[in-house]
A and B are shown apart, each in its own frame.
Chain A
Amino acid sequence: MSAFKPQSIKWPADRAVLLVHGIGDASGAGAAAFPTAQLAAALGDDAANVAVYTLNYDFINDWAVRKTNLAAGIEVLGKAVATHFANAELSTTLAKYCGDVLWPILHLDTRMAVRDAYIAQLQQIVLDCGEAALARGHDPLEYRVSIVAHSLGCFHTYEALHAAVREPEYRLQPGTDLTQLECVVLMASPVQLIRSVAGDIGVLVPDRNGLSTMDAAGLSLPSQKMGRKSVPAARHFVSVTGSQDPVGGHLFGKQQTWGFMSIAGQRTQIVTQSLVGGDTAQALTLALAAGDGAGAALGSVIINPHSWTAYVSTEASLLREVLA
């Protein structure tokens, strides 16, 4: 069997949340990459009642890096991204930054392997939920599961949930298998950015039909069609992004249609961020290049506008509300 083992947790109460990281988040810092402390702080006393799962798929990225020359593919994607940025000074940094989140569209095996890891984790959560509820004599359908994803994790979440509602094989169809999630929160989602760039390099993308991000009908909330009824994968679908976060579709405070994910039915939360200093282009370049250290301001705090921990901290009230 696979070296990957889905995480299994004995639920302390009737709720669980799955944290899905972005590209490289976990390979650099391991488990510490997940903003579990920030989430616990956001939930306060209620944190003890929530089973927190984390999904790490960086090991699959590592396979692909070793097996194939991914750098070349990322370079192609970076160039495609750069055409969207008018500011020449920024384009190199942004292309490199965004290229990292785009490569899975080119490598079919990796894309499918990450999906299987994701699906396996969701299946394990369903089993854990059933075990916890039945052992207590509760109804498992009263138990709630939510997902909080960041950056590339949003793309994998979007694809995995669309696959889950489409494929009976996974046993995760919300209508048939009664596995509807409570809430999906996508933070700095690059789904629209990937859709735009993948559209630009359309012929290079393998299995376009298998990518929900590339659906000709546009982006949509994952839902299972049951006759005339449509059962959404999640009761609530929330998109959170910063006003200075290019991965989330913003540049210098302006929303970019090619990068901002806007799906009918989603709830959108824009985090107001402001760049530090007079030269905004330089500030953004520094912010993106410096990790969590410097760049944009959220109130009096200076952060990387794409930082997951910052999103979780600043959106504490939102998380409390949707995970309660």
Chain B
Amino acid sequence: MKSRTAGSPAEPARQTTGASRRSERYITLRHITSTLCLLAFASVLPQRVAAQATDSARVVQTVLADTLTVGHYCAVVRNAMSRDAVQRLLADDLPLVEAKAERVCDPRVAPLLLRSLTGQGAVSLAAVARTRQKAYSEVAAARLDTAMRTLRPLLRSRDVQPTINAALGDSAAQVFRAVLDAPALYFTAAALDRSLERLSRYERKLGLQSPKLNAIEVLLNYSAQRWMPGFAPSITRGPSPLELIASYVPAYATIDGRKLTAVSASEFGVRSYLFGDQWGKDGKAGLLKPAYWSIGALVASDRNGALAWPWDGRTRTGAFIGWGELKVGYLPGRKSSVIVTRQLQFIPFVF
């Protein structure tokens, strides 16, 4: 367990920006939980914890880190609410606190691990066996989150803390604070993960590996975000996976006779980004797990060639499908052809 003296300027600040932040955060929280659990158990079973902490503190911390439950939370809340001074202080808020305490003190959810409420940790086997179905646990977790989110500001705000401290005494007040803060930290950590997940989606859609837009596409997508459902970003989900395509592609290729020939075509369609860690791979892996796929209509002239105007001569209309940077199109007609190309912008913001 980390322990340092507050205000010790001699100790340099640790800064972390490495790729292992996510796991490290959970390790950090595990340390916090270890502290909390030791404190919580200390209030309930002081002799047992004292012995364990002195004999094999590290083992105890590891074991206890995953054992702080809703039942413990209920116990410290009930303990605080049993004090007259706290009841007097809560006054008008007392019925609300009692109602929410009732919810967290439901014996059916008592075995649920606080950590499991965020969906990040596994629900304990005991809890699953007790509730029999995971769905119930999820519903219970949401209800518990609401209840705890209501209880914490009522019982932990700066206004009430002095009364709680005085009513419980220093040691129990410390336990009380720590247990009420534990789920808040877990939920903040989960919210941070969601923020980073959204940011990762923005990176996939806007970042250096994403297809560049030409001027028309910029305007089209700007309009789509404003007026078409499904294209605007969302606070909880991040960017829309959809992006409109309207581009001139002078570098399709086909086999005409036995010759490799360039074909110019206009594309009108939609690109859909594949969010999630398993997508957006680089190199060869990107062929199987690209960052996006696309589909749409193709318009091309019957005269092949690079930089040919698609509406020159007889126009052929077909379709294309893209898987990452690779695109394959089909142009029907007397000389039907399969054409292929790679996602590329030749002249910035033009085509």
Please, which residues of chain B bring their CB within 8 A of the CB of A172?
191
Query: Which one of B132-140, B176-184, B290-298, B301-309 is at the interface?
Result: B176-184
Interface assignment of A30: CB less than 8 Å from any CB of chain B: no
- The reply on B278 being an interface residue by CB < 8 A is no
Is B349 interfacial (CB 8 A cutoff)? Answer: yes
| B233 near A112: Cβ-Cβ < 8 Å | yes
Chain A 55-89 per-residue mask, 1 if CB under 8 angstroms from chain B, else 0? 00000100110111100100000000000000000
Contacting pair A120 B196 (CB below 8 A):
yes
Contact flags B207-237 to A (C-beta < 8 A → 1, else 0): 1101011010010001001100000110110
Contacts of A6 in B (CB 8 A): 21, 192, 196
CB-CB under 8 A for A123 and B226, given A136-B6, A139-B177? no
- When distances are taken between beta carbons in the complex, the residues of chain B under 8 Å from A112 are 198, 202, 233, 235, 238-239
* Cβ-defined contact, B174 with A137, below 8 A: yes
Q: Is the CB of B200 within 8 A of A1?
A: yes
A124 contacts the other chain (Cβ, under 8 Å)?
A: yes
Distance from A178 Cβ to chain B, minimum over Cβ atoms (Å): 6
- Cβ A116 vs Cβ B6 within 8 A: no
With a cutoff of 8 Å between Cβ atoms, the chain A residues found around residue B187 in the complex are 171
Q: Taking the complex as formed, is A49 at the interface, i.e. its CB lies under 8 A from any CB of chain B?
A: yes
Known: A116-B202, A134-B181. A127 touches B188 (CB 8 A): yes
Given A110-B206, A116-B199, A177-B184, is A5 in contact with B21 using a C-beta cutoff of 8 Å? yes
Contact A69 B215, beta carbon cutoff 8 Å:
yes
**In the complex, A7→B192 CA distance in Å?**
12
Q: A69-B215, A123-B191, A130-B185 are in contact. Are A5 and B19 (CB under 8 A)?
A: yes
- A177 and B11 alpha carbons, distance in the complex (Å): 30
**In the complex, which residues of chain A have a beta carbon less than 8 angstroms from the beta carbon of B239?**
109, 112-113
Bound together, the chains give a CA A43 to CA B21 distance in angstroms of 30
Chain B residues near A11 (CB, 8 Å)?
13
Contact between A9 and B7 (Cβ–Cβ < 8 Å)? no
Q: Tell yes or no: A323 within 8 A of B by CB.
A: no
Give the chain B neighbours of A66 by CB distance below 8 A. 208, 212
1/0 per residue A108-133: CB within 8 Å of B?
11101100110110011011001100
B1 pairs with A141, CB closer than 8 A = no
Name A135's contact: one of B31, B195, B235 (CB within 8 Å): B31
Q: Are B202 and A109 in contact (CB under 8 A)?
A: yes
Q: Which of B92-140 contact A (CB under 8 A)?
A: none
Partner of B7, one of A8, A13, A124, A130: A13
Asked whether, in the complex, the Cβ of B213 is within 8 Å of the Cβ of A136, the reply is: no
Residues of chain B with a CB closer than 8 A to A135's CB: 1-4, 31-32, 35
- Report the interface size for chain B: residues with CB under 8 A from the other chain: 75
Task: Choose among B13, B191, B197 the residue that contacts A12 (Cβ–Cβ < 8 A).
Answer: B13
- The one of B4, B15, B25 that contacts A127, using a Cβ cutoff of 8 Å: B25
- Kindly state the separation between the CA atoms of A131 and B189 in the bound complex, as whole angstroms: 12
CB <8 Å contact, B185 and A10: no
A268 CB to closest chain B CB, in angstroms? 27
Query: In the complex the two chains form, is B235's CB within 8 Å of A167's CB?
Result: yes
Question: CA A171 – CA B194 in complex, angstroms?
Answer: 11
Chain A binder among B65-73, B155-163, B334-342? B155-163
How far, in angstroms, from A171 to B4 measured CA to CA in the complex? 28
Query: Is B6 in contact with A13, judged by CB distance below 8 angstroms?
Result: yes
Mark interface residues in B21-46 (1 if CB within 8 Å of A CB, else 0): 11011001101100110000000000
Task: Establish whether residues A123 and B202, one from each chain, have CB atoms under 8 Å apart when the complex forms.
Answer: no
Q: List 13 A-B contacts (CB under 8 A).
A: A1-B277, A2-B196, A8-B21, A12-B13, A49-B7, A123-B189, A123-B195, A134-B36, A141-B158, A163-B235, A178-B156, A178-B184, A206-B226
Q: A109-B206, A116-B202, A141-B157 are in contact. List 11 more A-B contacts (CB 8 A).
A: A1-B197, A4-B196, A7-B17, A10-B11, A13-B7, A64-B206, A67-B210, A136-B6, A167-B235, A168-B149, A206-B222
Instruction: List B residues at the A interface (Cβ < 8 Å).
Output: 1-9, 11, 13-19, 21-22, 24-25, 28-29, 31-32, 35-36, 149, 152-153, 156-158, 161, 174, 177-178, 181, 184-185, 187-189, 191-192, 194-200, 202-203, 205-208, 210, 212-213, 215, 218, 222, 225-226, 232-233, 235-236, 238-239, 277, 348-349
